[in-house]
Structures are given as C-alpha cells and as structure tokens.
Amino acid sequence: MTLRSKRLLRFALLALLIFGGALGAFVTSVPIPRSLLQSAPGETLTLRDARGGALAEIANDSARSQHPRPLAQLGADLPRVTVALEDHRFDAHAGVDWRAVAGAALRNLRHLRAVSGASTITQQLAKDASGRPPRTFANKFREAAIAWKLERRWTKAQILERYLNTVNYGNRLLGAEAAARAYFDKSAANLDLAESIYLAGLPQAPGRFNPWRHPAAAEYKFQRSIRRLAGLDLISNDDLRALSTSPPKPGRFLPGRRAPHFVDALLARAKADGISLSGDRRTTIDPELQSVAEGLVARHLESLGRHDTTQAALVVIETETGAVRALVGSRNYLGPEGQNNGALRLRSAGSALKPFIYTTAIDRRVITAATILPDLPGGVRNLYADYDPQNYTGRYLGPVRARLALGNSLNVPAVHVLDRVGARQGFFELQRWGLHPARPYDDYGAGFILGNAEVRPLDLASAYAALARGGLAAERPRFMGGDGLPYLERIASAAACAIVTDILCDDSARRRTFGSDSPLDVPVRVAVKTGTSSGFRDGWCAGFTGRHTVVVWSGNFDGRPMGELLSVRSAAPLWRMMIDYLLAARHDPSVPNALATAPGLVSVKICPLTGLLPTAIGPEPPVTEYFLPGTEPTGDASKMFVADPQGGAPRLLLPPEYASWCRSVQNGINAIARSPDGLAITSPPDGANFSVDPNLSPTQQMIELATNAPNPAAVRWSANGQPLATDPVGRTFWKLARGEWELRAEDGPATATAHVAVE
C-alpha cells in the first residue's frame, strides 16, 4: 500500500469515526417526546348517566374522539393487517427499515420528487408525537433517532399498541377504538376482516381517504389494500374476490348528546373549578326521569298555547343526596333559543323566597306560626316610607296568622316578617341557603323578599332541598356520581323547618288565594310554594315529596311579560305533573309529618283569629298549632272580643290601624277597630318623597290620603292651607305637584300633619 493510500485510509477512518461520534451524539441528544413517556394517551371525556348509559362524548382540542384500549382489545385482524400494510418487516427492524429506505430513495430519484417515505410504524409514532413537523432530512433523522431509542425502551407489542391508539383515522378520530365506533358503530374488538382492512388503510392519508367526505377514494384505498394483502399471501384469492365485490359500508355514528342542558352545566362548572375531566365519568342524571322531564316541559308549554309564555325550565334533585336527577333548561335544545339554559339563568324569584325568611323568623323566635300579622293596603308605610307592596289578588285579609300569610303568599305580612328579622340580615340568610342573588342588598332593598332578587332555578331547588332536609344545606347540587354524600351545614333548626314545611303542605292554609282545586292541592302531604315576579315576567313553583325536590320556572328568555299569567297557571301545572309522576311511577313517599317528632316542639290549642289561647266567647273553634319551646302563647283571647250590640257573635276588636279595613267589604270576620288615642295620618307617611312622571297625566298621579280616624268622611283635608275635596264615600285623593307640601287632617278638635316632597 502506498503512502498516499495509507493517508487516504487513515483520513477515511477518521472521518468515519467523527461521523459516527457526531451521529451518536445527535441520537443521544434527541429526546423522546414527552407524550410517549406517559403511561397511556389521554381519553376523550364520556359522560354517563347514573345507570351507565352514555350522555355525551366531549371533543377536545386534540381529538373529536379517542379511547385507548390494550392491544388484546383491538381485535384479531386489525393489528396484523395494519402491520402488513404499513410496515411488513415491523418485527425484524430496530426502528428503521433500511431496505425500505433504500427502495424509497431509488423511487424518489427515479421520479425526481418525494413519492415514498419508507417510515416504519415506530417512526410514524415518533412523527405524530413530535407534532408532525415538515418532511425534511433533518426531521427524518430526528424521527429515526427517536424510533431507534423507542425500540430499546418498549417491546414491539407496546409500540404497536400505542400506534393503534394514537394514529389519525380521519375526522379527528384518534385510535382504532374511536374509528371503529364512528365508522362502524362497534368496538375495535368486534371488527370483521373487511372492516379491519378498511380502517388500516385510512391513516396513510386520513384527509384524502376521509370516508365521510371522499367515500370513493376511501373505497379505492380499500381495494388497493386487499390486493397488497393478497400479494403478501395474508389473504387468499378467494378472500380477495369476496372482499372486492362486497366492500364494507362505513356510516356516521357519532354519539348524540342526551340531557344537553345538564351536560353544558356540568362542563361549565368543571371549567370554573379548574377541573380537567377525561375518560368515562358517571353523572347523577336519572335517564328515565330526564326523559320524562323533557317530555313534560314540551307538553306543558304546548298545552298553555300562549305566545306570551314560550319557555320553561325544570330541575329535580334527590333530596337526601343533593344529586341532580333531571335538568331541563328549555323546551327544545335544538330549537330557537333552545341552548339558553333556563335552569341556570338568574330570574326574579317572586314569592318563592318567602319560606326561608319565615323559617329564619321562627327560628329566631321573632314570630310563631300563630303570630298575627297585618295584611292591609299601605300596611308597611310605617316601616318603609318609599315601599308599598300590594297583593296580586287585590284583596287583604286584615289580621292574619303567619301560617295563613305564608300559605296564601301575602306580601304585606311578608315584609313585616322581614322587618322583624332585619332586611339586610334576611338577605344574608338567603345566601346561607345557597341562593346567590345577582346583585348586592343595596340594589334591592326590602323588596327582595317579594322576589325582585334574581336567583337560579338550580340554586332554588338546592335551597328547598335544604328545607326538606330539616335545615341542612349543601354547598351546591351534585352533578357527578360516586362523590358520596355532600357536606351539609346546619343553617336552621329542624323544628323551625318542620313548622314551615307543615305550612307548605297545608292546602287549607292557601285556599283564600289559590282556591280548593288548584294544581297545588295534592292528595298527599307535599310541600309547595309559588312565586310570580313583578310584571308577570317569571312564574315559579317549588316544592318536595318525601324523596325529591322539584322546581319549575316559566317565562320568556327576553324578559317579556306573560300577560297576566300567575305562577299557579304558568308553572304550577308542570310542577304538579312531575310530582304526580314521582308519586305514582317512582313510589315517592309523602312528606313525613315531623311536627310530632321534631325536637322540642310544643303542641297548643289556639284561637284562630288571635293566635292566643282560646276563650269560651271566641266565634270560631280552636285549632292546633306548633311552637318552639318558650314561644307558645300564655294569655287567652278574652280581651280581644266584644259583645255584638245586635246580638250576634262576639266581634274581634282590632287596633286603630285596622279601622279602614274594618269598614271595607273585605272584613269577612265582622271585626271592629278601637278608637285611636290621637289622630294620625297613615298615608302618606311623614317625610315621604314622590316623583312626578312627565309622561303621565295628572289624573293618573294621585295618592289617597288616609288617617286612623274611625269615620274618614268626617276628616277635613288641606294641602299647604288649600282645602281638598272628599268624595261621597269619604275618600280624599291629592294630585301630585312639585314642591314642599304640608298635608293637614282635622277631625273635630284633633289635627295631624305630614310633610312630603314632590320632585
């Protein structure tokens, strides 16, 4: 060997060593992608109902559907067919098939362009895990390095399993299980030979061979695949002919979404909580109850047949566990406005909030179920000068027991109860029940108790479930199964809750307002309360059986009024249909009578007109009422009645503020009022402020002037010294006019004044 030859040989060896070292350093420096180091690829979230049936499959950013399965569960044909079509020397190479690389290089040189890549299954796995970078020599070397390292870390079976669980079969279907479900409506384990061959050919060009968009191209690929398999002697000529003449027919089998409003609510809660859900997750939805609820909502709105009431929402909670068993947010999820979720929308709650304030007041011993409350026109002006609630019926019961005030949903007594609790404190108490109005107390004032506070039907259902549990409130309703019982916080005594629950079950306590044949008149003990917001924009009905709590909202998503449709017609019929189903089909028990078993409750016979101990001269027979210990009455009603000069039954004697009511036709108990100790103006209250509306005529902007005088016709009125006229029945109306005004009332020698301002 010449000196020159020796030098060339040494140079070549040195170059080879340098290249080998550089190649080794390059291979060492290339990391295996993090996704391949994870134990298994992520699985698409599948939400299931309480019985295991699929509710919805939730796509994510990376995949429409992906359901990894062990290799043994991917069928007998698909793995071997995939290897044959994609990498038939898979079991022999170490990550890179050099024979295939050489063949691909020759083909590419022959065509002067890249027509073949010769990537092995391991390289394809590396490419997918790297985000499928552009096809360059540098990236090819990187994929080869990853494949080489991966082959030394995993077995061939592990590599094939990961590939079959992550490869793209088109339409963002990652993995064989997802593709088998979407194209053939079966699991990968149940694919036949033809279906396995069909699927195995798709990953080569998932866009070009998309079965939904390009079915002809996908079938052409299938025909090429079976010829290739025949050439490899993996199928016989008879198989080839049979498969060629009857190729598989893929379909579009995407899972539907049942209980869609519930699914949307669950996903929104998970996002708000920062929780990432994946895999199979069981929810609390009862599939049969959900289906019934959806049908009842549609049927109820159709039966109303009103253009001014277009939507309704219904929530059913299992009381003991706090689990949401049915949730419907609109009449048709796929229809106009259907994806608005009425169960989660903040809407004015009407009188549906009253039971919680009554419970607080009884628990704090500021009232009892027998406390007499005033139900009078203008009956809260001495409490809130700028607030004058009215009863929807336009009728007033005068002196009314708290039981009847709550049962008949009377507004004036409710404000008196709130005043005894404290309006701001009462608002705070609502939040302890799990109700979270949209705005702070100062935006509502005392009017929140009559329903101008907006709450969500789902939260209202949870609050009524807390009342049904005897004052044990859950933080929020449960959506997911398997979470165990919720953490419960005692927010009211079981005894106070038992009293209020008994009132809500007492149909006789609400008949003055709702009649004896309303949807609220359930044959067994079931608690119920309605609510209608101002302007008839929202109708509510909430209550519970012995096992389930049901809340219904009705109205319009755009806030339009429902004509003058009260909740007893707009929401109560739907509530009653669900209650009837629970009682009959689910054998729900009635609400147990906890009065006799609640700790410390005292049973007392009382006079129904006064709430005191009965007296022999009382015109009505005694009734039984229950009291917290120490709150029961100790005096009798003997001083509350006076003899009737006409020889009739003794007459109830009321305080002077009842004088106008006693003279009205609404005095159905033949009561009389005591003479006042002094003349006083009762309307308007001293210091009141009024505003003139420029859009209304002066005759539409008048207030009625009133005193506590027993004979209003004898009272003379003046405004800033100018006499005011009294109509033939003794009423005096004053037209509002801007300025500072002194209103004076004179009844014989007695006088009274009130100063008001009009802006």
pLDDT tens readout for residues 504-517: 999 999 999 998 88
Q: Return the SS3 of 361.
A: helix
In 3D, which of 380, 360, 401, 411 has the Cα closest to residue 633?
401
Residues 6 or more apart whose Cβ sits within 8 Å of residue 291: none
351: closest CA among 402, 415, 420, 426? 415
- Residues with Cβ within 8 Å of 573's Cβ and at least 6 positions away in sequence, in order, are 300, 303, 519
Torsions phi, psi for 2 (to 5 deg) = -75, 165
Residue 377 tokens, joined: 């026109």
Q: How far apart are CA 660 and CA 731, in angstroms?
A: 11
Helix (H, G, I), strand (E, B) or coil at 716: strand
Residues of the chain with pLDDT under 70: 1, 3-30, 95, 100-118, 132, 134-138, 379, 381-388, 483-484, 645-647
**CA angle in degrees (0–180, nearest 5) for 370-373-375:** 135
CB 133 within 8 A of CB 139: yes
Report all structural domains of the chain as residue ranges with CATH numbers, in order of start: 67-245 (1.10.3810.10), 293-584 (3.40.710.10), 602-673 (no CATH), 681-758 (2.60.40)
CB contact at 8 A, 146 and 56: no
Q: What is the pLDDT of residue 391?
A: 76
Q: What is the pLDDT of residue 26?
A: 47
Distance CA 470, CA 363 (A): 12
CA–CA separation, 370 vs 715, rounded Å? 35
Q: 316 forms bridges with which residues in the sheet?
A: 326, 550
Q: Alpha-carbon dihedral of residues 282, 283, 288, 292, nearest 10 degrees?
A: -160
Residue 390 tokens, joined: 């009215």
Task: Name the pTM for this structure.
Answer: 0.82
pLDDT in tens, 218-246: 999 999 999 999 999 999 999 899 999 99
H or E element at residue 667: none
Q: Among residues 378, 324, 448, which one has the least CA distance to residue 754? A: 378
